[in-house]
Amino acid sequence: MEIGRKQIGKILRIGDHGAYVYAGGHPEEAVLLPAKYVPEGTKVGDEIEVFLYRDSLDRPVATTKAPALTLGEIGCLKVRDVTKIGAFLDWGLEKDLFLPFKEQTGKLKSGDKVVVALYLDKSGRLCGTMRITPYLKSDSPYQKDDKVEGVIYELHPSIGAFVAVDCKYFGLIPKQEWFSDGQVGDTVNARVLRVRPDGKLDLSGRGKAYKQLATDAEVVWDALMKRGGEMYLHDKSDPAEIQKVTGLSKNAFKRAVGHLLKERKIELTGESIKAIRQI
């Protein structure tokens, strides 16, 4: 029987502690399925689907409970506890999943959500890793302009946000398309900018330009209203300040301001933007 996978086992015998299950014609390798997981009416010779992992004493044990992920799969799990040796994650089984420090990509605390892949360490124990890029697939069914959903698993200011699309496909929101205060573990909705030759996805957190323009203009207008109808930003303002106030890139901000000017809803004073009339 394989550690970390769901599999069909056959009941070899039933005792006080539970049933012993084996697979592949190897009864000598039978593993205990604790009594609380043995379905009522189970008989010797019955077949049953189980998941195999190691208990707190590092012994192989079977369960009929379904874990959040199996070997090689990726999932978003909640941090139960952080200790001196690593973090422990809730993955739906009695024994929490161990996430070693060396497999963490950032500081964690209890209650955080993390995207991890399930792997076997050198001693044959199931562990989680936040370094999931090697586990992500690049054969998604998505095409340019498709809407997708994913979970942020890494953030790099100089590159952008790395996203596990559907928790299985590689996606990247480049920094020029990333205008959010999202954090690792957050779910994001995005649009496919392009499918690379290798199948990986470049994404955008923004809609198509002609649709996004009106939305961005509303963002600028709302920022104006919150500041009493005048905002001390202009086309020479620092991009970081523009993003802090509006959440927009400098280029998107300038396009939105141009749109509002064209509709004669604002005026420019040289150092600020003033509202002329409300939408």
CATH number assigned to the domain comprising residue 55: 2.40.50.140
- Of 133, 157, 184, which marks where a domain is finished? 133
Q: Cα dihedral sign for 90, 92, 98, 104? A: negative
Range of the domain at 43: 6-63
Q: Of 93, 117, 133, which marks where a domain is finished?
A: 133
Strand extents, DSSP E, 175-241: 187-195, 201-204, 230-231
Which tokens go with 262? 């064209």
Tokens standing for residue 176? 């020029």
Domain final residue, candidates 90, 108, 133? 133
What is the predicted pLDDT for the residue at 33?
96
- Identify whether the C-beta of residue 113 lies closer than 8 Å to the C-beta of residue 158: no
8 Å CB contact between 185 and 114: yes
Q: Are 79 and 110 in contact (CB under 8 A)?
A: yes
Residue that the structure tokens 């106030």 belong to? 245
pLDDT in tens, the chain (279 residues): 899 999 999 999 999 999 999 988 889 989 999 999 999 999 999 999 999 999 888 889 999 999 999 999 998 899 999 999 999 999 999 899 999 999 998 888 999 888 999 999 998 899 999 999 999 999 999 999 899 998 888 888 889 899 999 988 999 999 878 766 677 878 888 889 999 999 999 998 765 444 566 677 888 888 888 888 888 887 788 888 888 888 777 777 888 888 888 888 888 887 888 888 654
The H-or-E segment that residue 165 falls in is: strand 160-165
Q: Is 236 in the same domain as 256?
A: yes
| Nearest alpha carbon to residue 233 among 215, 254, 217 | 254
* pTM of the predicted protein model: 0.67
